[in-house]
Amino acid sequence: MSILMQYVDRFHEILDKHADQRTTNWFMMSSPFPTLFICLSYVYGVKVLGPKLMENRKPFQLKNVLIVYNLFQMVFSAWLFYEMVHACWWYYFSKFTEFMDTIFFVLRKKNDHVSILHVIHHGCMPMSVWFGVKFTPGGHSTFFGLLNTFVHIVMYTYYLLAAMGPKLQPYLWWKKYLTVFQMIQFVAVMIHAFQLLFIDCNYPKAFVWWIGLHATMFFFLFNEFYQQSYQQKKKRKQQTITNGMKKDHQQNHQTNGMTNGSTGNSSGRRDAADYYVKGDSLAASELNLRKSYTTTE
C-alpha cells in the first residue's frame, strides 16, 4: 500500500508542476481521482444499479421535475455562455449536473434511451474537462466550452418544451436538426483544435490532440446515431409504404375478381390499405375491413 501511495504522490507532483496555478486549489481540482470515481459510479449506476432497482417498480412520472430541471439547465448554459472566460470551473461542474439526463431516463424506465453514445458522452466529459480546467483554463481551450454551452441552450430548450406535454409536440419537428447542429459543433471544434498543428501559439500540442480527437470521436458517434434514428427509419417507412401499396394492389385485384363491382367491399379494401400504409398493424386493418363488411351488409 505504501508503494502505491508513493506512486500516487508522485503523480500529483507531476500534475501540480504543470498545472495552472490559478485553479490548483479549486474544489476537486487537486486530484483527478474524485472526478474519475464519480464518472465510474455514474456508468455503474445508470447501466447496472439503476435498472436493477427499477426492475419491479412502476416508472416515475417526472413531468414537473423535468420542466424545472431543463429550465435550470437552459438558464445555466446561457449563463456559462455569457461568462465563459470566467466560468471554466462551473462548466466542469455542469458536466455533473448533466448526469441527471440519464438518471431521469432510468427512473422513468426508458432504458432504451440509455444508449452507448449517451453514456460515453456523459461519462467521459467530466474527466475530459477536468484536465482542461487543471492545465489550460481560458484562451484557446474555451472555444469548445463556449460552443458547447450554446448548443446546450438550444438542446435544453427543446427538452423543456418536450417535457410540457403533447400539446407542444407539433412544434418540435426540428429534433433531427438538433442532432445535425451537434455534429456541426464537433466539426467546428476539430477545425479550431487541429489548426494549431500548423500554427505555433505556445499552446500544448497534447491538448490539441486531446480536444481534436474528442470532437472526432463524438462526431462519428453522433453521426451513427443520426443514421440509425432518422435515415434508416426513413428508409423503413418508405419500404412500408411501398409494401402497403403492393398489398393494396393485390387486395383490390383479388376483390375485383371475386365480387366484380361490389362498392361496399371495394371501399372496405381501400380503407384497410389506408390504415396499413399509415403504419397500423395488419390486425388493425383487418378489424377495419370487417367493420366495413358489417356496415355494408
Mean pLDDT, the chain, rounded, equals: 80
- pLDDT of res. 277: 30
- Residue ranges of the alpha helices (H) in the chain? 2-18, 33-44, 50-54, 63-82, 88-97, 99-107, 116-135, 142-163, 175-194, 205-226, 232-259, 263-277, 282-296
Residue 206 has pLDDT above 80, yes or no: yes
Residue 22 has pLDDT above 50, yes or no: yes
Question: What confidence category does residue 263 fall into, taking pLDDT thresholds of 50, 70 and 90?
Answer: very low
Residue 180 has pLDDT above 50, yes or no: yes
- pLDDT of res. 11: 76
The grid coordinates of residue 43 equal 456508468
The grid coordinates of residue 47 equal 447501466
- pLDDT of res. 280: 34
Of residues 248 and 115, the one with the higher pLDDT is 115
- pLDDT of res. 252: 55
Question: What confidence category does residue 246 fall into, taking pLDDT thresholds of 50, 70 and 90?
Answer: low
- pLDDT of res. 18: 76
Catalytic residue from among 113, 121, 152, 192: 121
113 is catalytic: no
Of residues 10 and 268, the one with the higher pLDDT is 10
Q: What are the tens digits of pLDDT across the range 36-59?
A: 999 999 999 999 999 999 999 999
- pLDDT of res. 250: 57
Residue 284 has pLDDT above 90, yes or no: no
- pLDDT of res. 249: 55
| Helix (H/G/I), strand (E/B), else coil: 105 | helix
Q: What are the tens digits of pLDDT across the range 120-177?
A: 989 999 999 998 888 888 788 889 898 999 999 999 999 999 999 888 888 898 988 9
Instruction: For the chain, give the percent of residues with pLDDT over 90.
Output: 43
pLDDT, mean of residues 193-199: 92
* Residue 177 near residue 226, CB atoms below 8 Å: no
Question: What confidence category does residue 65 fall into, taking pLDDT thresholds of 50, 70 and 90?
Answer: very high
- pLDDT of res. 232: 67
Of residues 261 and 239, the one with the higher pLDDT is 239
Q: Which own/partner pairs from 202-206 qualify as long-range (CB within 8 Å, at least 24 positions apart)?
A: 203/136, 203/139, 203/140, 204/135, 204/136
Residue 255 has pLDDT above 70, yes or no: no
Instruction: For the chain, give the percent of residues with pLDDT over 70.
Output: 77
Q: What are the tens digits of pLDDT across the range 211-244?
A: 999 999 999 999 988 888 887 666 666 676 666 6
Q: Considering only CA atoms, which of 89, 98, 90 is closest in space to residue 125?
A: 98
